[in-house]
Chain A
Amino acid sequence: MRKKYTIPTYFAFGWLGFAVFLAVFGSFIPIDGYQVIHGDFIDSPPFTSGHWFGVDSNGYDIFSGIINGARLSIFIAVVSVGLGGFIGSLLGVTAAYYRGRYDSVVNTAFNVVLSVPNLVLALALVAVLATNVDINEAVPTWRRLITLVMSLTIVIIPILGRIARAATLAWSGREFIVAARSMGMRDRHIISRHIVPNVLPALIAVGFLAVGVVIIAEASLSLLGVGIPDGASWGGMIARGRNDLEYNPHALYIPIIALAFTVISTNHVGDVLRGKLDRREGRL
């Protein structure tokens, strides 16, 4: 019996597809760049001719900002979660499979990182790593980007690593692992063919939740002033827009709406995928 998708699911998939499309092809869309200053239109409300989402107090077109901001927000989230998920599950799965001292070390490391609040950790890492010894010298954007991704990756590693470890612990005690060993399969085959396919659904579901967490973390870091300084991401737009909240609220609300839709969609898609990928016994 195949459950039909509901309308919110179509919306979530649609929105995520749209956001990813913007992230990949946004720069090819023939509109002005997000940093072009429209001096005559400063503080125009939404639905102004030529500026559907209005213009903020710097004269930046918000529509262009949303389209171009998707690139950075989505890129940072996907790369951090992908990298963090890969490293985390590699550590988590091997730790739970081999146990012993290695497992204790990995698990303790996860717990130490988890004991620091996500945002504080990322903030500390970015603040330390993306600073020059001479504070007057500007840090290049690419270096900021790399440190941002690295910090968020470090935040993600224990989150997904623990899920992978817990799931592996549950599965590696199962009889079919012993059965595979009794047929002379090597550890790496058992891990890649028997454990990973069972652990993956949980990881994918949590991975989507983690994408949401990272998008918000990146926005929060921008708000705190340690994001990408050019303000190309949605978080950067929020950071700039909050100064003009009284007389230009749409400059804040529109990127927030884009951000919220994206996070809600990733969460929802994560849930739906978990249900779909869950091919367990008894699900007839």
Chain B
Amino acid sequence: MTRPPLRHRIITNALLAVAALYFLVPVYWLIVSATKNSADLFGTFGFWFSRHPHPLRYLTEVLTYDHGVYARWFANSLLYAGIGAVCATLMSAAAGYALAKFPFRGRETIFNVVLAGVLIPGTALALPLYFLFSAMGLANTYWAVLIPSTVSPFGVYLCRIYAAAAVPDSLLEAARIDGAGEARIFGGLGLRLMTPALVTVFLFQFVHIWNNYFLPLVMLSDSDLYPVQLGLTSWTGYADRQPVLYQYTVGGALLSVLPLMVLMTVLQRYWRTGLTEGSVKS
């Protein structure tokens, strides 16, 4: 392969660097600002540290403020996203596997209805879902956020496409002849062969739940049940009266994005596949 001319290389990398600046500067600001107290937040230049940066002290204050309510929100977020994503992945796997590997009447109808679910705006669903859940007495409980989080039509779509390609019929047939039950075949063979797709579904769903704001906002009124995002916006709502909350919001925002950004960077390679999986093959 011939090396492209120097001029091309300079222009290309300059453009990439400018773009990187745009994407990184707000995160840089967040990191710098988390080392400042409220006075410095307003009083010093945002893109540089104050004279007395105290990252650990201010982040500890975030965690201990109001009897550690932030830690509670964080745990709630982990609970919603972790349990929700695991359940969603397992159910999507089973459903996708069934739709791929068992020909039966009405299969395509079911699949098309599920596909339509991918295109329905989540927030258009959240309001009626709240009305429904409050009629059932489920609103303002953990279940109100957890149950909807376990449903991923996109996961079913991905699992079906993947299972159709990755789980050979002959292998299933052989297992059946050996006398294995369908549940064992799925648990032992299907899940193992579908693992890469399952990782993708899990990650998508985890981030989807973690980022979801509208659903917990309409469902929850008890701040003990809040996920991080909702808790932080409740802080910004009070910050006018209690300026120290500006500082806590900044610190809390940094703490809340750290785990996800690490996850994101480490697991990037799984990400780029998900969405295109279907279109590449069609």
A and B bind: no
Interface residues of chain A, those whose CB is within 8 Å of chain B, are none
Interface residues of chain B, those whose CB is within 8 Å of chain A, are none
